[in-house]
């Protein structure tokens, strides 16, 4: 792959994710304080907030502005059904305001915003434009506007995930992690029923992690605040996976919620390969960021029967871990296939991400050894 083949797309997309992180931090602060109180439930009972729609509209508008609305294909999680309901006028107004506030700050991030504020129909159009079904041909942007909405609502970890697929291969991956501390030393571990991490009150929090396929590098930059722009303290830092390959020393990540994850099966696998540390239960693709940055070594996801993994929940994180030196496959040891639409079709049992080959081989071996006797 040409080193700079996707240079423009990566540059614009990283800046757009920086914008989205700022938007989300504002909305999350409002949710916690009570000034934002609109959280809807989708058909599958998962929550959706002002931030989900606002980020999707903002990212959609920006990508179309820079790469042309006629040629941009976007696969994203949200639609406008709930926003279009008769009782959602106030919610739509909040989304429109939030989007315009974000776009007005575009010059801070080195981007061009609209000449005037967007109206509600334009915002709805930007959200609705993200209706591509992807596939094996052409370029398709993949967006999860707020991955880990439960974590977002609770003031915990969440991520803005943006990837680019070209002819079925993920070629750009970007994760915005607004609540993820910049330094591993700033991570606090809590054990109050869930073993998870959060930042200390004095640590610098928030980063954007990104990569392009074939670069062999993954980078992290702090969030941009105020009017400081892209210079000075916001220089990027190279990140790499951990060198730990002893299971007894490894840290294992899994999802917080058990609705679509079989915690009992992963617990059995962890015990079988000799993982001694308690699992680190983390909302969102921050789990992939933790592995790419060397804060954890293993992430396993085995969905309960009937659940289908969506590509926007994995595309960006998978590429970042791989380019940072890690390994990600399905539980049969095969590469994940992002070329078959919005779902990871053909997935063998689950997903295994590791910091290195030795740990990965042990996990895959344990899957084969224990699968037949499991209740999955």
User: Burial, 192: exposed, middle or buried (Cβ in 10 Å; 0-12, 13-18, 19+)?
Assistant: exposed
d(CA 8, CA 339): 23
pLDDT at 228 over 60: no
Asked if residue 45 belongs to a known ligand binding site, the reply is no
pLDDT at 376 over 60: no
Residue ranges and CATH numbers for the domains of the chain are 7-239 (3.30.540.10), 247-373 (3.40.190.80)
- Whole-prediction pTM value? 0.93
Assess whether 266 carries a catalytic annotation: no
pLDDT (0 to 100) of residue 84: 86
pLDDT at position 75 over 60: yes
Which residue out of 58, 149, 211, 329 is catalytically annotated?
A: 149
User: pLDDT category, 225, cuts 50, 70, 90?
Assistant: confident
The share of the chain scoring above pLDDT 90, in percent, equals 66
- Cα torsion 313, 318, 248, 187: sign: negative
Name the packing angle between helices 120-128 and 89-104 (round to 10°): 80
Asked if 336 contacts 318 with a C-beta cutoff of 8 angstroms, the reply is yes
77 is in an annotated binding site: yes
Report the pLDDT averaged over residues 88-98. Answer: 93
| 44 belongs to an annotated ligand binding site | no
The residue from 52, 156, 295, 330 that is catalytic is: 52
Q: Is 149 one of the catalytic residues?
A: yes
* Residue 144, marked binder: yes
Give the per-residue pLDDT at 277. 86
């Amino acid at each position: 792959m040409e080193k700079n083949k996707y240079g423009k797309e990566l540059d614009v997309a990283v800046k757009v994710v920086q914008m989205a992180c700022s938007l989300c931090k504002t909305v999350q602060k409002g949710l916690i304080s009570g000034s934002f109180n609109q959280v809807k439930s989708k058909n599958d009972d998962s929550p959706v907030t002002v931030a989900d729609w606002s980020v999707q509209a903002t990212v959609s508008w920006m990508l179309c502005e820079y790469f042309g609305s006629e040629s941009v294909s976007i696969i994203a999680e949200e639609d406008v059904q709930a926003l279009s309901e008769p009782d959602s006028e106030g919610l739509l107004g909040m989304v429109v305001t939030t989007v315009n506030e974000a776009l007005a700050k575009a010059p801070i991030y080195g981007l061009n915003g609209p000449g005037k504020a967007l109206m509600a129909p334009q915002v709805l159009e930007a959200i609705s434009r993200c209706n591509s079904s992807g596939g094996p041909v052409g370029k398709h942007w993949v967006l999860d506007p707020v991955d880990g909405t439960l974590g977002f609502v609770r003031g915990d970890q969440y991520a803005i995930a943006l990837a680019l697929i070209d002819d079925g291969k993920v070629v750009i991956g970007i994760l915005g992690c607004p609540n993820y501390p910049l330094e591993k030393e700033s991570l606090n571990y809590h054990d109050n029923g869930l073993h998870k991490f959060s930042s200390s009150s004095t640590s610098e929090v928030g980063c954007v992690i990104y990569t392009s396929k074939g670069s062999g590098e993954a980078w992290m930059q702090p969030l941009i605040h105020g009017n400081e722009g892209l210079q000075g303290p916001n220089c990027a830092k190279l990140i790499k996976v951990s060198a730990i390959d002893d299971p007894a020393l490894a840290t294992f990540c899994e999802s917080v919620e058990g609705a679509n994850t079989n915690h009992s099966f992963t617990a059995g696998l962890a015990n079988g390969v000799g993982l001694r540390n308690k699992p680190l239960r983390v909302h969102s693709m921050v789990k992939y960021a933790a592995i790419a940055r060397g804060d954890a070594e293993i992430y396993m996801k085995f969905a309960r029967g009937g659940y289908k993994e969506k590509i926007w929940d994995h595309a960006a994180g998978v590429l970042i871990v791989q380019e940072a030196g890690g390994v990600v496959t399905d539980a049969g040891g095969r590469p994940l296939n992002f070329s078959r639409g919005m779902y990871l079709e053909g997935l063998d049992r689950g997903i295994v991400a590791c910091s290195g080959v030795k740990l990965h081989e042990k996990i895959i071996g344990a899957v084969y050894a224990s699968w037949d006797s499991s209740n999955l």
